Structures are given as C-alpha cells and as structure tokens.
Amino acid sequence: MNTWTNSAWFVDLVSSIREAIGDALSEIEEGSCRPRTEMFVQRNGLHAQPQTLSDRVLVTELGKAMTRDRLEGRDLTVYDELYSILPSTRRIRESLFSSALYQNVKIPPPPPVITDGRIPAKDFWDEINEQVFVIRVDE
C-alpha cells in the first residue's frame, strides 16, 4: 500500500466522497429524482440504459465519472444540472477541486515545473476506485 493512502488529505477525501454518495442515495429515492437522474445520464452519454442500474450503482457510477473526468483534466460543468437533481453530488465536485488533491496528484494541465513529485493520476484512480467506488456485497 502506498504511504499517501494513509495521509490526512486522502482519508478526508475518501470520507467526504463516500458521505456525499450516501446522501445522494437518499436523495435519489425522493419523488422525481430517479427519472430526472436517468434522463441526465442518458442525455450526457454517461450510460446507455441507466434504468437497468440500481440506485446504488447509478449514484456510484456518477461519482466515478466525475472523478475520472477530474483526473483527466476535463471540465465538470457538464454536471451542473445534476447538482440541482442530487444536491449532494456537488460535494463530490468540491472534494475533487480541493487544493490538497491538486497539490498531491498529477491532474492536467501540469504546472510549469521541472520535476513533478505528485502522485500519478492512474495510481490515484486505482486507489480511490478501490476505496470508494468498488461495491462489495456484505457477507
């Protein structure tokens, strides 16, 4: 295991994303949230048939997509509509734009430095995916 996975900034990030996903799961069960979320997902090409996904998988996949897009340096404004449907997902965005994340992970565009000692985005993705987004069935 990498030493940075025990650092306060990473533990806080994992915790805040998990909490936001949990809150979004509660939100998606309310009234018209699920159908509106499905329409958002289809319209933005995030999943071809979101109606086949459970609430848990759908919300988790949204969090994964946001995280991947951030690590690839993409613009997250595509998710602005989602924040009005599932307000807790805004906290995922806020976590992904923390200064600690940018200081520690190589997120494009790279800063103008000769050597960059930050964590490669791929290594970070592997760890955050394992700790936050991999769904384990309780035994």
At 105 the three-state DSSP class reads: strand
Distance separating alpha carbons of residues 11 and 13, to the nearest angstrom: 5
Q: Is residue 73 part of a domain?
A: yes
Its pTM stands at 0.85
Q: Is residue 139 part of a domain?
A: no
Q: Is residue 102 part of a domain?
A: yes
Integer CA distances (angstroms), 33 to 40, 51, 100, 109, in order: 10, 12, 32, 34
Q: Is residue 29 part of a domain?
A: yes
Q: Is residue 120 part of a domain?
A: yes
Task: Please give the residue range of the domain that contains residue 17.
Answer: 3-133
Q: Is residue 90 part of a domain?
A: yes
Q: Is residue 51 part of a domain?
A: yes
Query: How crowded is residue 59: how many other Cβ atoms within 10 Å of its Cβ?
Result: 25
**Residue 112 pLDDT greater than 90, yes or no:** no
Distance separating alpha carbons of residues 47 and 19, to the nearest angstrom: 23
Burial class (CB within 10 angstroms; exposed 0-12, middle 13-18, buried 19+) of 36: middle
Provide the number of structural domains found in the chain: 1
Render pLDDT for 52-93 as a digit per residue (tens, 0 to 9): 999 999 999 999 999 999 999 998 999 999 999 999 999 999
In the structure, what pLDDT confidence band is assigned to residue 10 with cuts at 50, 70 and 90?
Answer: very high
Q: Is residue 138 part of a domain?
A: no
In the structure, what pLDDT confidence band is assigned to residue 45 with cuts at 50, 70 and 90?
Answer: very high
